[in-house]
Structure formats: structure tokens, C-alpha cells
Structure 1
Amino acid sequence: MGRRPKQPNHQLGELLYETRASRKGFARRIVERGRGIGIELRYDHTSVGRWLAGEQPTSPGPNLIAEVLTELCGRRITPSDCGMAVDRSAKSGLEFSLTLAGATASVTELWSSDVERRRFLEGTAYAVAVYPAASMRWLTLPGREHPASTTGLRRIGVSDIDALRTMTTAFRDLDNQVGGGKVRSTVVHYLHTSVAPLLRASYTEEVGRRLFAVTAELTKLAGWAAYDLEEHGLAQRYLIQALRMARAAGDTALGAEILAAMSHQATYVGRPGDAVDLARAAQIAARSAGLPALEAGCYMVEAHGHAARSDARSCANSLNAAEGAFDRDGSNRPPWLSYLDTAYMAAKAAQCFRDLGDNDRAAVLARRSLNMSDGYQRGKVFNLCLLASSLVAADPQEAVRIGTTALELAGTVESRRTYAYLRDVRARLAPYCEIPAVEEFRRQVTSARSE
């Protein structure tokens, strides 16, 4: 029997007719959206013709096509609306589950799929709608949950949770020292092989709350490591599930921290409006938790979102609020908040001023940010790049000197974000190519291993 011929995709054809978009222009928009999330695509007008003839693009093509059509049509368009086949497994981890049982099933399925390197997780795109939906459920899900279990064959207690916390601390320290690329697979394997069986064990509600809290920390760390590798779609899945685990634990402080991480990523991928919304949701949770330092961090990521939107006034308001909250800080911080110190605050403020074009103020703050605690090797690379980029206009040779130090340190960590920041310094130095030191630095950044 011969192969069944493809059927023309009339749904996609009707949508393209509605938007009056040319095939060439439509393909270009999809390629640009993919590039914005770190995915290089080679679509052109002939690709669109094949889709109209019935060919199905591989993931993340259907999602990107739907996102572009959503913008062009002014209403939400799903892959199904475009006549694209939907891989249900590809939604794994993207939903903030309404039930505790559903949450446990979702997070363990994500770990399992990741360990088994399921194809649908490879190169997944950043989905623009999932973070707003998850943050809304975080804020509105009613009632206190009761994470107790009597169905497992094994009974676990506080000693099991203490062991998880010890491992979590070790993984977090390694992530800061050597980058997400060197720890992500190990963390995910540990979640799958060691944490998943505990979630299926028997435990009291008090032990359950602690179990879900440390699970949230580890899942967030796996997501942050994926973000560090610029695997943005995968990072989203982990951060959404981490937020759900924090909700199950009743840990509003940890929820605020995870929402702030989502905001951080949203700014990075060019969604500053979403970043502001996520930061404000994080502030609500931080205030509820009674942690002024955490609230300060949430104001800082909001400020960064405003700076990315070139909204200097709103940025200044958020920076002032962050400073006021930080001044109220007490001594009751959880261990995972130890990074949020004066050096961190200076770095975030410097980034805001740099993005707003105030390089002099940015440079002063960036120098302060280098007075950071030991053990944050990746963060030091970021802060050196921040200082170098702030100095380019005033002293390109000094910018090269500092950038070279950052480049040398970058070789000790596995983080694609470090090379993104180095490439930013390189781009800012482009007008000074006639200076030999500048040209040599630019050459070194271009040839540096970035993965």
C-alpha cells in the first residue's frame, strides 16, 4: 500500500490570508522569534509553502508559528488552530497542577523524561504564556494543602529530609562555583533516583511539608542550571514545577524566590513586561513571608524589567523600594537566600543603570559588586563583564583589561550565560576596533569555547 498523501493545511492558509502576511515575511518573523530564545532556524518562504501543503515542522516550530500568528491576529492562536499536530507529551511540566496528586505526578514525570533524554525536551522554546498562568495559580489557588501520605511501603522522617538538605546545599554551592553545565545532569539524576521515591513514601504532614520544600529547592536549582545553559524552555518547566512544590509545602518565601527567578529569566529572553508582573507577584509572597531581604531582591528584578523597557522613572521607584526593604533586613534568612547581600544589590542596580545608559553610575556600583563572598565564581564573571561594559565609552582599554580577566575566569565555569555577557562586552567595543588591544580581545571572545 502506498503512503497516504499529505492533506493541504487549510487552517494555516486561512490564518495567513487573514493576516495578509507574505510567506517570506512570516518565515522571517518565526526565525527572529526562535533567535530570541537561542534557537537558530532556517525557515524561508519555501518552508511556509511546505507547511501549507501539509508538512508538519518539528518542535518547537508549531509553537513558534502559533506565537507569531497570535501577535499578527491579535488573539490567542494555538498550534491546533494552525492545523499543526500537538504532541501532548511536549506539555510535560508546563502546567501548575491544581491538585497535589497531579503536582507530584507532573514533577516526577518531568524528571523521568529528562533523565531518559526524551526528544520533546530537546531545544524546547520559551513559551510566553506559561509563566503568567503559573503565577496566577500560585496567587489564587485556594486553601492550605496537606502533604501527608500513608500509601508508601517505606516510612520516612526528619533524617531523610536532613540528608536531602545536605545534598541541596552541596549542589547549590557547586552551581555557583562551576556553572550550571557541570551540575544540571547530576541534580536531575538525583531528583529522579533519590527524591522521587521519597515523594512516593509514607510521611506525616510536617515531614511532607519539609520534603516538598527541599524538593522545590532542588527542582528550582535544576531549572536555574538549565537557564544558565540557555535551555530556556526546559528551565521554564523546572521553575513552574518548583513553584508548585513550594505551594504544596506552604513555603511562601521559597515561592517568592522562584517567582523572582522566573522574572530574571523573562527579562533575559526579552519579555520585560512579563518580568515586571512576575516580580510583583514575588513581592506579594515575600511580604507575606516577612523577609525584607527577599522583598528587596524581588524589587530588584522588577527594576531590571523596567530598565529593559527603558522606563527610568519606574526603575528608580523599584530601586528605592529595594533599598528600603534591604535596610529592614533581619537575621531570620533561610540558607538559600545567603547570596542576597550588598554586592548582589550593587550588581543588580549597576545592571539597571547600564541598561538605561548611565554608565558612570553603573561603573561605580559594578566595582562595589566585586566585593562579593567567596564561592560565587560564575557571579564574579558576570560582575566583571558588567563593569567592563560600563567602562567601554570612558576607557576602552580598561574595559579590555577587566574583560580579559572575566574571559579567563569564564574558562573555569560551564555557563553559556557567561559567554553571552562576554559577547555583549565584545559588541560594545566594536567602535574601538582600531585599538590593537580591543581587536585582540574581540578575537579572543569570538574564538572562546562557549559550551
Structure 2
Amino acid sequence: MPRTRKPNDSLSQWMTRAGISNAELARAVTRRARVQGHRGVNPSEGRVRAWRQGETPRHPVPQLIADHLGSCVGIYLTCADIGMPGTATLPQGPDQAWEPRSTIAAVDHLTRSELMDPQTRPRDDTPALHTGTDLLTPLQHWALATPSALTARDGGRIGMNDVTAIRQLTDMFRDADNRHGGTLSRKAVIAQMHDANTLLNTATYTETVGRALFGAVADLGSVAAWMAFDSGHHHTAQNLFITALHAASEAGDRALGAHILQCMARQMSHLHHYSDALDLIALAQYGARRQATPATQSMLASLESRFLAITGQLHDSERAARHAEDHFTQITPADEPPHMTFFDEVELCATLGIAHQIAAKHDTGTHRQRRAEESLHLLKHALDLRPAHRVRSTAFDHLGIARTYLVVGELTGAYEQTHRALDHFATIGSKRVSDRLAELHDEAAPYTTAPEAVALREEITAAITTAP
């Protein structure tokens, strides 16, 4: 007696949602098969009807069907989504493949998951982070990966004007992050990243436009990840950084990849994984060595100086600081990419000022005062030049000065600068600033016999407790 097949309702539902007939799906599968070199795949309208009745087509047909239906509805579909077996699995974490489909799928999965998550307040997701070799070993492939061939799509054609529009929106989101912190705009950026990624998955474009679109998605991803990091959503931030790095690789833009890696290094340092932070900077320096602009090289060297100071390597920290200053003198602003416009004299001074502050804290010898004075000089210069719209950075400047004053026991200065930092903190939503305030609160504990230290700690506690 013949076995009765169960109708494939999932396939029928997706075809209905896509608004295509059996004959249209047959032609689309044939067309995609031709593009990918599968000459023996030529289904008929009747064959599609058989699939809907429960017949399972042979490889690679299930993936071809999923690809076409996904392009029609604007989301990534797996073979399982359409009720068929397949070898493709949704990539997760740092182990995803360095190829376009895996990158598009990862971005789609992450953005959809975030947009559907009703949770807006940060929760302790740091145990889920990848660290050490689990993070670094898969990312080593970035230094050698080359852009893969882009698969032809069936959707509407887009051009460089569309990519430019996405980049302009990215600049707007980056400015909002600077002014207000990452909490308020995080999901708006993720939604825009999802839309831009949908174009990668469904639109028709030339090779040049496709590479540029991958770069635009990568830059959007770096902003979305940075906002997630600033909001205290660390696992989400790491996953977004990783997928953005993959998108930058498909764009062939190693300078952008280095920028994303330095963002990841800052996150690792913030979470006290200092060895990982240094390794990420080293990977960025090596992988982008032929494409890195002077601003990129200066930025990476300044962060290297900071992380070396944290790990107590003070002489190497000073050497890296000198390299950062040397590279900075070679910058031609007009030749720098948009994602590097943030790194100016102000940012260099602030980063190196923090490096000297940390070195002063570690130094118990005669050089402590010199390091502290250099830190104050650089941080105050950064504060004097800081644009008014860089509100969060201004708060960090005041906090940096306060912590340097605390290193040398100047409690009045530490209190005054903390008070100013708190004024700025009240106008933004930033878990990073809150965490930095908490560190300052703990650093002031040895001075609690002084009224300035008592007031400093009380005001920090009140501000953090009432923060949204």
C-alpha cells in the first residue's frame, strides 16, 4: 500500500505570503540553479505541486526554494522554515563562515531577534560572552579572508545613491549616540540595519554596489553594536560587532574592519578582559596593515598605549603613545573614511590622557607625579576642544580628570570634576558612564575621612540609583 505523504503546509504558506504560483516558483528555481551552475535542475509546475503535497526534492533544490521565497518576503529563510531538510544551519557567534550568505543570515537573525525582544533594560548577559581563544581564534580568519562572489538576486535594482542614503542615516544615528547615549536610539539603528541587510538579500546590484552595500551594513552594525554596548547589552553588542566585521570583510574594507575590532577591544577592556583587548588591537593592526589610514594607525596605537598601561607595561605604553602621536601628524582629514571622522586631536588627547592616568595609578615611584601631570594636561586640552554635541565624551573627560586628581590625592579637584560629570550624565542614557562612575566611587573609598570624598561618593550613589 503506498505511503501517504503529509502536505507541506509551511511551503504553501510561504508561497502564499510571497504571492507566487507553482509555475513562477518552478521558473525561479530553474533560474537560480542556472546561475549557481546546477544544470540538471529544471522543475515543472507539476513538480512544485508535488512538493506542496509532501514530496521532498533532492539537494540543492530545498535551499534554492528557501533563497527565492526569502528574497520575495524580505527575510532569511532556512530549509526548515519551508518544511524541508537541508544542510544549512543558521550561523551563530564567532564561528560563522566568512561568506556572504552566512553574513546576511546572521545579521537577519540578530536584528529580527532584537526587534522582537521586549526587554529594554540591560541584564547581566556577560556570562554568555565569547572571550579568550573562543573569541580570538575564529576572528583570526579576518586577516586572511577575501570577499566572496556575490550571488545574483531577483529583486529591484539599487545603486550607489541608495548606499549613500544609508550612510547618511548612519551618520545621523552616530550623532544621536554622541548627544544622547546609546539607550534611546539602539533599536532604531537595529531596524535600519535590518532593512539595509534585506536589500543585500533581495535586491539586484552590481559587484561594486554590492561591496559598498556590505560596507554600509557593516558601518551601521558598528553603530548598532556600540549603542548596545553603551546600553549595557553586552552579548548583543558582541554578536553585532562580529557580524559587522564579517560584512566589512565582504566589502573588502579592512580599515573598517579594524575600526570594528577596536570597538570590540574597548568593550573587552570595559569588562576587564584586558588581554583580549590587546589581542584584538594586534589583530586589527596586522589585518589592516596595508589599508590602514594614518588616523586608523594613530587610533589603534593610542588604544594599545591605554591597554598596555592597564596591564602594567608602562614603558611599552609610552612607546605606543609616541607611535600614536607620530601617526597623527600624518593625517589628511579629506583622505579619511567617514567612520574615522570621530578620531581627531580631541580624541587622541583624551585616549592618551587616560593612558597616562592609568600609568600614574600603577606607578609607585618618582614618575607618578609626572604621569599625572601629563594626564591632566591632555585631558584638560581635550575638554577645552570638545564639541558641545559630544555630551557623553564630555562626561568621560570630566571623569578622567577626576580620577587623575584622585590618584595624586587632590580631593577638591576630584569632587569638582565629578560634579560636572554628573551634570552631563543626567542628560544622557549611558550604562558605560554609569559603570565608570561606579569605579570612581570605589576608588574614592580610601579617602572617606575627607568631606570631599564623602560628598563625591554620595552624589555618585544618588545619580546611579535614580538613573533609568
User: Offset at 1:268?
Assistant: 1.5
Is the partner of 2:318 in helix, strand or coil?
Answer: helix
Aligned letter for 1:372? R
Aligned equivalents of 1:353, 1:158: Cα separation in 2: 44
Residue 449 of structure 2, aligned match among 424, 434, 441: 434
Note the 1:155-194 alignment, pairs <5 A: 155-194=157-196
State the partner residue of 2:396. 382
Is the partner of 2:449 in helix, strand or coil?
Answer: coil
Contact 1:180 1:225 in 2 (8 A): yes
Is the partner of 1:180 in helix, strand or coil?
Answer: coil
Is the partner of 1:287 in helix, strand or coil?
Answer: coil
CA deviations on 1:76-125 (whole Å, 9 max, x unpaired) are xxxxxxxxxxxxx9973443423221111111111111111189x97433
State the partner residue of 2:349. 346
State the partner residue of 2:51. none
Aligned equivalents of 2:164, 2:307: Cα separation in 1: 37
Aligned equivalents of 1:383, 1:377: Cα separation in 2: 10
Q: How many residues align?
A: 360
Change (3 A) 1:446 1:118: closer
Moved more, 249-258 or 278-287: 278-287
Are 1:249 and 2:263 matched, yes or no? no
Contact 1:123 1:233 in 2 (8 A): no
State the partner residue of 1:404. 419
Aligned letter for 1:351? I
Contact 1:96 1:240 in 2 (8 A): no
Aligned equivalents of 1:185, 1:295: Cα separation in 2: 31
TM-score scaled by length of structure 2: 0.73
Aligned equivalents of 1:131, 1:112: Cα separation in 2: 23
Aligned equivalents of 1:140, 1:195: Cα separation in 2: 24
Are 1:391 and 2:405 matched, yes or no? yes
User: Offset at 1:289?
Assistant: 1.3
Aligned equivalents of 2:394, 2:269: Cα separation in 1: 20
Residue 361 of structure 1, aligned match among 354, 374, 393: 374
Aligned equivalents of 2:101, 2:320: Cα separation in 1: 38
State the partner residue of 1:15. none
Contact 1:164 1:214 in 2 (8 A): yes
Change (3 A) 1:420 1:323: same
Contact 2:103 2:243 in 1 (8 A): yes
Extract unaligned runs of 5+ from structure 1: 1-88
State the partner residue of 1:372. 386
Contact 2:241 2:260 in 1 (8 A): yes
Contact 1:353 1:361 in 2 (8 A): yes
User: Offset at 1:168?
Assistant: 0.5
User: Offset at 1:390?
Assistant: 0.4
CA deviations on 1:363-405 (whole Å, 9 max, x unpaired) are 2221112122332111111111000110123421121111101
- Identical aligned residues as a percent: 26
Extract unaligned runs of 5+ from structure 2: 1-88, 362-370
Aligned letter for 1:136? Q
Contact 2:257 2:284 in 1 (8 A): yes
State the partner residue of 2:432. 417
Are 1:136 and 2:140 matched, yes or no? yes
Q: CA RMSD in A?
A: 2.1
Aligned equivalents of 1:338, 1:229: Cα separation in 2: 23
Contact 2:265 2:278 in 1 (8 A): yes
User: Offset at 1:284?
Assistant: 2.5
Note the 1:204-215 alignment, pairs <5 A: 204-215=206-217
User: Offset at 1:258?
Assistant: 0.7
Is the partner of 2:117 in helix, strand or coil?
Answer: coil
Aligned letter for 2:295? A
Change (3 A) 1:424 1:359: farther
Q: Greater Rg, structure 1 or structure 2?
A: 2
Aligned letter for 1:400? Y
User: Offset at 1:198?
Assistant: 4.4
Change (3 A) 1:90 1:235: farther
Aligned equivalents of 2:242, 2:118: Cα separation in 1: 19
User: Offset at 1:407?
Assistant: 0.3
User: Offset at 1:130?
Assistant: 4.2
Greater than 6 Å deviation, 4+ residue runs? none
Change (3 A) 1:418 1:204: same
Aligned equivalents of 2:112, 2:288: Cα separation in 1: 32
Aligned equivalents of 2:313, 2:275: Cα separation in 1: 11
State the partner residue of 2:239. 237
Is the partner of 2:380 in helix, strand or coil?
Answer: helix
